[in-house]
Amino acid sequence: MMEELLVIPERLARIKEVLSRRQPDLRLFLERVVNYHNVSAILRTADAVGVLHVHYFHEGELPINDAITRGAHRWLILHREKEVASGLRLLKEAGFQLVGTGLFPETVDFREVDYTKPTVVIVGHELEGISETVRQEADLIVKIPMYGMVQSLNVSVATGVILYEAERQRRQKGLYDAPRLSPEEMEAIIKEWAYTRVIQEKARGRLRR
Ligand SMILES: C[S@@+](CC[C@H](N)C(=O)[O-])C[C@H]1O[C@@H](n2cnc3c(N)ncnc32)[C@H](O)[C@@H]1O
């Protein structure tokens, strides 16, 4: 790389290590998740599981709280979708299976799905759940069994449960053992995370090397 080193070598090594385990073909789609606690907790879990790309449909900016994500959202690529249907269709055309979530009659147990395939997990609004559009576009809808008095889980908890099932399956298949990103993709992201963004943050006076 030609650029001046703008992060300490240990941080650069950490970024490379994290990227070497990222799963570019395990994605999240947040459909109008509005509460910042929920969004932030979801992004923190996404980072932990090795998700790289998070798509979202939301009026305005995604509400993120730094104290809750602990900065995890900085190590994800967030895609704002203008529309749910077109956003999902593009992902389907790119070869992703679309896995909706919720408690509908057509659902299957979340553990019956093969998450080692290119997958987008779609989670919905805190009260209304996923929309009719998602139900139509999704290849299948999964549910997490519920045995209590309350009908559903908190959306960030449900996301965590499903993502960790995906992690279990992918780990078993060795998908964390070797980088899933090409050297060129890795290089481009490192450039963004360790150089371009550092210059921007430096300009804003919030540099963290
Ligand atoms: C609180 S729930 C919404 C409840 C809404 N009444 C419904 O029917 O979906 C918010 C989101 O959390 C996820 N969720 C919560 N509990 C779930 C469960 N048991 N199985 C699958 N997804 C669940 C889904 O993504 C859902 O859209």
The model's pLDDT over 182-195, given as tens digits with 9 standing for 90+, comes to 999 999 999 888 87
Domains in the chain (CATH in brackets) are: 24-176 (3.40.1280.10)
Greatest alpha-carbon pair distance for the chain in Å reads 59
Distance between Cα 144 and ligand 1 center (Å)? 9
102 Cβ closer than 6 Å to some ligand 1 atom: yes
Distances 32 to 45, 122, 125 between C-alpha atoms, Å:
18, 11, 5
Segment 107-130 shows an average pLDDT of 98
Q: What is the DSSP string of 4-42?
A: PP-S-HHHHHHHHHHHTT-BTTEEEEEES---HHHHHHH
Averaged pLDDT of the chain: 92
pTM: 0.93
> For residue 99, how far is its CA from the centre of ligand 1 (angstroms)?
13
CB of 134 within 6 A of ligand 1: the answer is: no
Task: For residue range 57-86, list pLDDT tens digits in order.
Answer: 998 889 998 889 898 999 999 999 999 999
Return d(Cα 25, Cα 52) in angstroms, integer: 8
Distance (angstroms) between ligand 1 centre and the Cα of 180 equals 30
d(CA 120, CA 124): 13
Does residue 121 surpass a pLDDT of 90? Answer: yes
Centre of ligand 1 to C-alpha 40, Å, is: 17
Whether residue 171 has pLDDT greater than 80: yes
Task: Tell me how far CA of residue 157 lies from CA of 42, 65, 123, in angstroms.
Answer: 8, 17, 11
Residue 158 Cβ inside 6 Å of ligand 1? The answer reads yes
